[in-house]
Amino acid sequence: MKIGIIGSGRMVSSIHLPLLSCIDDVKIEFIADRNNPISLSKMYNTKSIQIDKIGNLPKCDIILLAVPMGIKEKYLYELIERDCHIFAEKPFTVDLASHKKILKLSNKITCNYVRNYYDTTRNIKNIISSEVFGKIEKISILEGGINGKTGLSKNSYQNNPELSGGFLKDSASHTFSQLDFLFDNIFLQEASVIWENGFDVETHAIFHVNDSFSIDYLGTQLKNIEPSTTIVFENYEIKFNHLIPDSIFTISSLNTKKKFVLQHESFFGSTFAQAYYLKWIDFLKKVSSSSKMDGEIETSITTTRIIDNIMEKGIKK
Amino acid sequence: MSLGLIGANGSIGTELSFLLKNDVDIIPITRNQLGSIFLKHHGFSCRVCDVSKKNDAKTHLSDLDASVILSYATDPYSGRQTRSSQKINSDIIKNTIKFSRKNSTIIYFSTIRAFSKDIVPNTSNFWMKSGYEKEKINLEKLVLSESKNNNKRAFILRISQVFGDNQARTNIFKSTLSKQKINVLVDPEKKSNIVHTVTIKDAILKCLSSKSIPGVYSLTNNPQWTWREVIDYYKKSDSIIQYNLKSNNKNNNKSLIQHDNSFFWNLLKSNKKFIKPFLYYVSSKYEPQIQKKLSIKKMSTAISDLKNKKSSHVQEYQNIKSYIDNNDKDHIDKNKIFKNLSDNLSNKDIFSIEEFDFNTIPGPFLNNLANTRTLLKNIHLDIF
C-alpha cells in the first residue's frame, strides 16, 4: 500500500511516520509540505516534495492529510478528484456545510478520531450496552484545565484559532466523537461559550440523547479541573477519565455508598500508540478489502454537527 | 516598578502573576498567543515574546526594571535536554540580561538538584546525571557570568517542591491525604524543603529591594516546615496519618549493561532510559535521528504488546453488580469476576515521594522573609 503524506508537523513526525514504519506492506511514497520537508523525508528514505500545486503530487493509494484545519478543505477537494483514499487528521472540516459537501463527493475518507480505539471507550460501551446497571439517568463530562506550558513555538499555527479551530474543534471534538460512538441521536439543547482573543476558552453545553437522558458538558480552560465522565444510573454511578486510553472505572452504589475501583483487562488500545495503530489497521483493512465505507461514521459527522450547533448558540460576542 | 515574568504561563508563573499584581506593575511574558490567553482573560497586559530571539527580547524587555526567568525549555519529543533546548535556555538568559533596562534586577529560578548528591541522594554520576540537574547548574553559572559582564543585579533562587493553589502537587497532596488512613513513609520531624508560592512572591519582592545582596540563595517556607507540618496542613481533619520510616532496601539498581563497539545504535535500540541522558551531549544534527529511533521503538513495543492481548469479550457485569450490591458476596469469588476489582475504601494508602529522601537544603537564605503561615492566612486566590 503506497501512502503519501501531506504535512510534516509534530503529529506526522512523532506518531504517523514511526507507526507506519512498523506496519508491513506499507510504503511511504512521499512527504509533502509548503516548506520542503527534506530532512524528515531523508530520515524515512522517501521523496520530499515542496507543494506548489496539489495536483502535481504523485499518485498513491492513500493520502495522510495532516495539515491545519483552516487550510484542509482545498486539499480535500483536490484529493477527492484523484479518487484516492484519505486519512485526515482531526478536526475534519471548518463547519457542517463543508463536511456534508465533502461526503457527497467521496466515501473513501476517514478522520482520525482515535479515542474510539481506547480500552476506556470500548469498556464503557460494553458496560452501557450490557444494561446491567440499568438505564442511564444523566451524564456529566468535565475536561480542559488552564493551558500552562504549551511547548509550542511563537509561530505555531495553533496560535491562530482560524487555523487550529480552537478548543472545541481541536480538542473537544475527540470527546464528541466518543459520544457519537456511544450513543445515537444526540441533540444539543443549550450552549454558552466564553471567548478570549478569538479562542473559545469555555463551553457549557447540555445535550439530550434519545429523549431519555441529558449530558452536561463543561470544557474549560479557565479553571483547573480533573477531567472525568460520570454516568449516573438509577442506583449506581460510574466515573472514569475519558481522555486516557486505560482509565480505571470507579463504580459507586448510590444505595450502599460503597465505592469500588475496576481496572479492566485490556483488549483494545491501552496506550496512545496502540490506539493510533488500531485506527490505522482498521482503515488499511477497509481500503485493501475495497469494502464500502460509511463516510458519516468514518468522519463522525455528528461531531461536526455538535460543534456547529454549539458555535451557533454560543456565537462570538 | 515594572516586573516581567518570563514564562508566565507555567503553573508557578501564572500563580505569581496573580499574587504580585497589587505589588508591582506585573508584565506576564509568554512565548506564544495560546499561552497568554488565561492571563489576558483575567485582565493582565501580557507580552507575547520569544525571549530566546534577540529582536524579540530587545523590543519587549528594554523597559523592564526587573525580570524573573521562570521558563525552561526541554525537547518536545523526549521531555529532556538536548543541544537545541540547551541553546534556547542559554539564549533566554543571555538576552534577558543583555536587553533588560540598565541596572535592572534579574531573578532566576533554579532547583534544589543543583546541590547534587549532598541533598538529593539518588543523584547519578557522570553522564547518567539527569539533564535537568546538569542544565540548571550550567545555567546558574551563565546567569552569574552574564550578569557580571552586563553589570546587572542577579539573584538565583534554588527551590524544591512548590505548593500553591495552581500547583498540581498541591492537589496530589490534598487528594492523597483526604483518604481515611494513610501510611506516610517519612520521618515527620525531618525538614521538608517545600516552598509555597506566597513565599516565592515575598522572596521576589525582597530581591527587588536595593538592600538585598545579589547571589545564589536557597528558598523554602519560612521557617522551614517539617513533613509533619506539610501533611497536617493538607490532610483532612478526620484522616488518620501513620508515619513510617522507609525500609532500607535500596532500590534494586539495575545493572548497566556494557555495550560493545556498535555502541551508538545498539544503545538507541535498547532502552530509552539509557538513551535519554545521552541526548544531553549529542550534537543537535543527530537529534532527529535519535528521536526517530525512539519513536519507532515506542511504536513497535506498543504493537507487540497489543498482539499479546486477549480478544474482546463481554465482561461479567452482572456479577460485579451483585458483588457491589453486597447481595451475594459470600458466594462470589471476586477474582473470578475481575482481577482488578478492589474495594476503594478498604485499602490503606501508602504515601511516598522521592522528596522524602532529600536532605535538608543548606543556605544561604534571603534575609527577612515573612512567616509563610502568616502569608498563607492572608491570601485568598479564588481563581484556580
pLDDT of residue B255: 32
Interface of B with A in 163-192 (CB under 8 A): 166, 171
Only one residue has cell 438505564, namely A135
Give CA–CA dist B269/B290, Å, rounded.
10
**Predicted local distance difference test score (pLDDT) of residue B321:** 77
Q: Which three cell numbers stand for residue A58?
A: 504523485
Quote the mean pLDDT of chain B: 84
Number of Cβ pairs closer than 8 Å across A and B? 182
Is residue B367 pLDDT above 70, yes or no?
Answer: yes
pLDDT band at residue B21 using 50, 70 and 90 as cut-offs: very high
pLDDT at B274: 56
Where does the pLDDT of residue B91 fall: very low under 50, low under 70, confident under 90, or very high at 90 and above? very high
B76 with A146: Cβ contact below 8 A:
no
**Cα–Cα distance between A266 and A274 in angstroms, integer?**
11
The stretch B361-366 carries a mean pLDDT of 93
Which is higher by pLDDT, A74 or B322?
A74
Under the banding of pLDDT at 50, 70 and 90, the label for residue A255 is confident
* Residue of A41, A150, A248 to mutate when probing chain B, most B C-beta within 10 A: A150
Phi, psi of A248 (to 5 degrees): -85, 160
Residue with more model confidence, B256 or A74: A74
| Average per-residue pLDDT for chain A | 93
B33/A262 Cβ within 8 A: no
In this prediction, residues B81-103 reach a mean pLDDT of 93
Tell me which residue of A139, A141, A135 sits closest to A233, measured CA to CA.
A135
Q: What is the DSSP string of B163-174?
A: ESTT-HHHHHHH
Q: Please, what sign has the CA dihedral across residues A305, A215, B345, B246? A: positive
Preceding amide of B277 cis, omega within 30 = no
Domains and CATH numbers, chain A: 2-112+276-293 (3.40.50.720), 115-269+302-313 (3.30.360.10)
- Contact list in A for residue B37 (CB cut-off 8 A) is 147, 196-197, 199, 201, 221
Mean pLDDT within B45-66: 96
Q: Do B41 and A268 touch (CB under 8 A)?
A: no
pLDDT(B127) > 60: no
ipTM of the complex: 0.87
Residue keyed to cell 500547583: B167
C-alpha dist (Å) from residue A165 to A70, A100, A127, A161, B275: 7, 18, 33, 5, 36
pLDDT attached to residue B329: 57
Q: Which of A21, A162, A224 to mutate to test the interface with B (most CBs of B within 10 A)?
A: A224
Q: Residue B14 is nearest to which of A146, A259, A265, comparing CB atoms?
A: A146
Phi/psi region, residue A166 (left: phi>0; alpha: psi -120 to 50; beta: rest), is left
User: How many Cβ atoms sit within 10 Å of the Cβ of residue B247?
Assistant: 7
C-beta atoms of A258 and B345 within 8 A: yes
Which of B37, B296, B317 is facing A21, going by the closest CB pair? B296
Residue B258 banded pLDDT, cuts 50, 70, 90: very low
A152: three-class secondary structure by DSSP: coil
Kindly identify which residue of chain B lies nearest to residue A151, measuring between CA atoms: B76
Of residues A155, A167, A40, A145, the one with CA closest to residue B48: A155
Asked if pLDDT for residue A247 goes beyond 60, the answer is yes
Average pLDDT over residues B340-368: 80
Cβ contact A249:A261 at 8 Å: yes
> CA-CA distance, A19 to A39, in Å (whole number)?
18
Of B96, B65, B101, nearest to B210 by C-alpha is B65
- Which run of H or of E encompasses B111? strand B105-111
Task: State the residue for C-alpha cell 454516568.
Answer: A231
Q: Which three cell numbers stand for residue B59?
A: 523590543
φ and ψ of B50, to 5 deg: -90, 95
Say if residue A220's pLDDT is above 70. Answer: yes
In this predicted structure, the answer to whether residue B224 has a pLDDT above a threshold of 50 is yes
Q: Is the pLDDT of residue B326 over 80?
A: no
Q: What is the pLDDT of residues A277-286, one digit of tens each?
A: 999 999 999 9
Which of A153, A154, A273 has its CB closest to that of B298? A273
Q: What angle do CA B283, B285, B291 make, to 5 degrees?
A: 95
pTM, full prediction: 0.87
Nearest CA in chain B to A146: B38
- Mean pLDDT lowest among A1-15, A166-180, A198-212, A263-277: A263-277
